[in-house]
Chain A
Amino acid sequence: MQENIINELRQIIGQENILTDKEDLICYSYDATSYCNLPEVVVIPGSAEEISLVLKVANKHGIPVAARGGGTNLCGASIPIKGGIVLAMHRLNKIIEIDGDNLVATVEAGVNTEKFQQAVEAKGLFYPPDPQSAKMSTMGGNVAQNAGGPKGFKYGVTRDFVLGMKVVLADGTILDIGGKTIKNVTGYDLTKFFTGSEGTLGVIVAVTFRLLPLPEAKKTMLAVFDDLMDGARTISSIVKNKIIPVTLEMMDQETMCLIEESKPVGLPTDAAAAILIEVDGSEHEVERQMKKIEKVAREEGATDVRVARTEEEAAKLWEGRKAAFGCMALSAVTPITEDATVPRSKLPEMVKFIKDVAKKYSLSIPVLGHTGDGNLHPIICTDENDLEEMKRVEKAIDEIFKETLRLGGTLSGEHGIGLAKQKYMELEVGQEGLQLMRQLKKAVDPNNILNPGKIFLQETEQINEKT
């Protein structure tokens, strides 16, 4: 990048918030995938106006801009794959308002997810989406990726809570869309348009979320199985019995062993599978649901159903679950977490398929997932340096995706497409779907400066190499 452009950026943002040394660039070149690429400059803006000016400069010179929150991305969406500018959003970290009268809250994009959850809970309110990276991810990142989490089963995902936002377009236009009302059918639903767009359509600066009252009670229980398929059937069976717990998190034995090795939280490592279940509601409702779930689980073959006696005990189990992805790194330097999602009735079939694929290609693929909504996380534990194994990994992933789509599912439930899954896009959305997406992108970002190379490529773009 030319020095005069960097100087232009310095004048907008201030010297101390522009990083150009190699040591700094390296630290903004990665996320939680194995992709990485150096940006040319890291820009740390403090307001929508500053972002607008930065984008004007970038748009004028055709410089790529990748916005970055906590950098915990699992599909490579936050990697500056074409170099250019990384827009690090952490200075925009204010909770602007928690409006209890309207059950909404407005936050800046860089607000930490868990801190936001705690802030609303302190007021007796509830923001359910709970990506397992909540301790480090940001609300802007959550919206850009349309993050999910275990609670998605009962409450839905980030998209279901976004009511309005402030977004900066590629040409620097600052746009306020949506608002504080639940109902809003004035024109196209632009808030949904930007939600989950992975930074390719605009830079999200602030978001207004819908909130719920905090449920009166909640309980965590663990159903234990001798056979993984019993567990998978239990999930389908609970849903069939018209019970909607907050979470139905299944973990297989391999997953539990790895979690226990890293963070002993008391998971039954001698069992083939366990389902971590949270129920919430009124005291009475919680009791009723727990009884019913226990009955169903036992009918499907659960060998044990344990209830966390204290909040600490429940929190500990969840700590273990949250660490699951990281724990895979104990045994593998490249854990690739997929999030193929199928209609929940197809869950047992899909679980079996993944286990068979693992066997077929001699791979270690622990399976866990937010199985209540059919969202599986097979984590392929591999080593990117082992080229022979990586070939088998690729074949296994191909098969998993094809089967997912055959069962009526989707490539990604919640992690996004980013760099990791774009080659499968056409399989799911078709040539026509892809074409429409390309046209939409071109309409809002004609110079293709916003996170180029992600989700899908424009016709003129080169395929991205993993660096």
Chain B
Amino acid sequence: MKKLEAYHDEIKHCIRCGACQAVCPVFEVMEREMAVARGRLRLIREALEGKLDLTDKMRDYIDLCVGCRICVDNCPAKVNTDQIVIGARHKYVDVKGLPFLHRIMLEQILSKKGNFNMALKSLGLARGTRLNKLLPEQLKKKEEILPTIPQRTFVQKMKEMTFDTGAPKKVGFFLSCMDNFMFPEVVEAAIMVLQNNDWDIVIPSDVNCCGAPHHVYGDWETAAKLAKKNIEAFQDAEVDYIITDCATCGSVLKEYGEMLSGDSLELKGKEFAAKIMDINAFLIDVVKIKPGQNKVSQTVTYHDPCHLVRHQKVSKQPREILLAVEGVEFRECNDADRCCGGAGTYNINHYDVSMKILDKKIENIKNTGADILATSCPACRIQLGYGMRRAGLNNTVVHPVELLARSYEQKD
């Protein structure tokens, strides 16, 4: 990955025309220059030119970026602010280390599956015994963001599942932490869809966190370690494609080549990255799915995860999946590709800003009148599910493959 200093020239191409102000979701709710690309770039530039120290305040402003990349898409000079922001966070980690809470989260929880599972199980327990009600008000709100935690993880469930059906083709599947712990039903739906289209699915259960949180918060060392473990986990899979239903995982898995640049595994990282495909794109472009016979009579709208629509340029395929399912009435949502404010743990770290962004999103979704909201990223799903509960709405949030899977379901 490029270090911050390497971006100095690129930053100079920000001529402060202000185009980022027109699109930045954080600026929209905060309306301050520090909360938009040109402000951040200016601060970074001053720091690079020795006119500003790496202060905690500047770090706060850098951290306020959701990383949605909409400013980059809209920047006439094409300045990669999202990458520069990540570079700046890395610089901070380099010089000042990770802040305490990030360190616990990134080093102790997200990189260690057992600990992650235990943390969520403890949350489930706390909720069961209503201990969570005793949390201080600020923390309680943040705890409420998380959905109900399923009894069993996908890895626990998969022991009883059949994967080798003797289908002519097979594809690798990268199991995201979020799906494993929170939404195993999405993986089950993916398996059903693929098996119904004559594809077998290989799911290594020893994969680790994809490294996205570490990467975006500047802990590149841990991110690279995780990348290596994941490449190894797929070593014997013998597949041409590795798919994932998590937009965030997909976007960072595709970066493994660059994340391991200079490492002995760089080439392997590049090969691995080249195999990564979002499940929506894979189903439409490679599998060319045939939907099942069942009618799914629902009105559905779709939210584009930033990590899919802008980081991976996938927006048509999820809609094509929805439209392919018989009975689905698709309703486009206004500003469907705007960030929902979830952005990994942004909603926990910057609760108030995140909620203001979320409220705008929920309003747009509500205006579609759709019963179901589909989206292709578990992090968005958590945020949007919370948004629905906050607004007193009953709409369910699903991944497009779950609706597609319903078209194949056996009727009793």
Contact = CB atoms under 8 A, between A and B. Distances in A.
Interface of A: 21-24, 26-32, 34, 70-72, 88, 90-91, 93, 114, 133, 135-137, 262-263, 323-330, 333-335
B13 A23 contact: no
Given A90-B31, A263-B76, A327-B76, A335 B52 contact: no
B155 interface: no
Nearest to B9: A333
Contacts of B61: 23
Given A27-B32, A326-B77, A333-B12, A72 B43 contact: no
Given A23-B58, A24-B34, A26-B43, A323 B18 contact: no
Nearest to A137: B18
Q: Which 10 A-B pairs have the closest CB atoms?
A: A326-B76, A329-B77, A135-B22, A27-B33, A136-B18, A27-B39, A326-B17, A329-B15, A136-B21, A327-B76
A23 B75 CA distance: 23
B138 to A, nearest CB: 18
Contacts of B39: 26-27
Interface residues of B, number: 28
B76 A329 contact: yes
Contacts of A330: 13, 76-78
- Interface SS of chain A: loop
A93 B29 CA distance: 13
With most chain A CB atoms within 10 A of its CB, the pick from B15, B19, B22, B38 is B15
B164 interface: no
A118 to B, nearest CB: 13
A30 B31 CA distance: 16
A63 B22 CA distance: 32
24 contacts: A23-B61, A24-B34, A26-B43, A28-B33, A29-B42, A32-B16, A32-B18, A34-B15, A72-B17, A136-B21, A136-B22, A137-B18, A262-B77, A263-B76, A326-B76, A326-B77, A329-B14, A329-B15, A329-B17, A329-B77, A330-B76, A333-B13, A334-B15, A335-B15
Contact of A326 (B32, B43, B75): B75
Contact of B17 (A21, A22, A263, A325): A325
Contact of B52 (A26, A30, A93): A26
Nearest to B45: A26
A27 B18 contact: no
Interface in B81-120: none
Contacts of B21: 70, 135-136
Contact of A23 (B14, B18, B19, B57): B57
Contacts of A24: 34
Contacts of B77: 262, 326-327, 329-330
Given A326-B17, A334-B15, 8 more contacts: A29-B42, A31-B16, A70-B18, A135-B22, A136-B19, A136-B22, A326-B76, A329-B76
A465 B21 CA distance: 28
Interface in B145-180: none
Given A23-B55, A23-B61, A27-B33, A326 B42 contact: no
B46 interface: yes
Contacts of A326: 15, 17, 19, 75-77
B307 to A, nearest CB: 23
Contacts of A91: 31
Contacts of A21: 57
A335 B12 CA distance: 12
B353 to A, nearest CB: 14
Nearest to B19: A326
Contacts of A34: 15
Interface in B1-51: 12-19, 21-22, 31-34, 38-39, 42-43, 46
Interface in B48-78: 52, 55, 57-58, 61, 75-78
B18 A22 contact: no
A6 to B, nearest CB: 17
Contacts of B14: 329
A292 B50 CA distance: 60
A216 B76 CA distance: 32
A329 B41 CA distance: 15
A329 B52 CA distance: 25
A90 B32 CA distance: 8
A23 B52 contact: yes
A32 B42 CA distance: 12
Name the residue among A22, A326, A330 with the largest chain B CB count within 10 angstroms.
A326
Contacts of B12: 333
Contacts of A29: 42
B34 A27 contact: yes
Contacts of B13: 329-330, 333
A401 B76 CA distance: 28
A24 B58 CA distance: 9
Nearest to A74: B17
Contacts of B75: 326
Contacts of A324: 76
A390 to B, nearest CB: 15
Nearest to B56: A23
Nearest to A31: B16
Kindly name the residue among A27, A30, A137, A327 whose own CB sees the greatest number of chain B CB atoms within 10 A: A27
Contacts of A262: 76-78
B129 to A, nearest CB: 39
B34 A325 contact: no
A30 B16 contact: yes
Contacts of A137: 18
B16 A323 contact: no
Nearest to A68: B33
Contacts of B43: 23, 26-27
A44 to B, nearest CB: 8
Contacts of A329: 13-15, 17, 76-77
Contacts of A335: 15
Contacts of B58: 23
Contacts of B31: 90-91, 93
Contacts of A30: 16, 38, 42
A32 B15 contact: yes
Contacts of B57: 21, 23
Nearest to B14: A329
A334 B22 CA distance: 22
Nearest to A329: B77
A22 B38 CA distance: 16
A124 to B, nearest CB: 21
Contacts of A88: 32
Given A23-B61, A26-B42, A27-B32, A32 B22 contact: no
Given A32-B17, A71-B18, A23 B34 contact: yes
A30 B61 CA distance: 17
A31 B17 CA distance: 7
B342 to A, nearest CB: 25
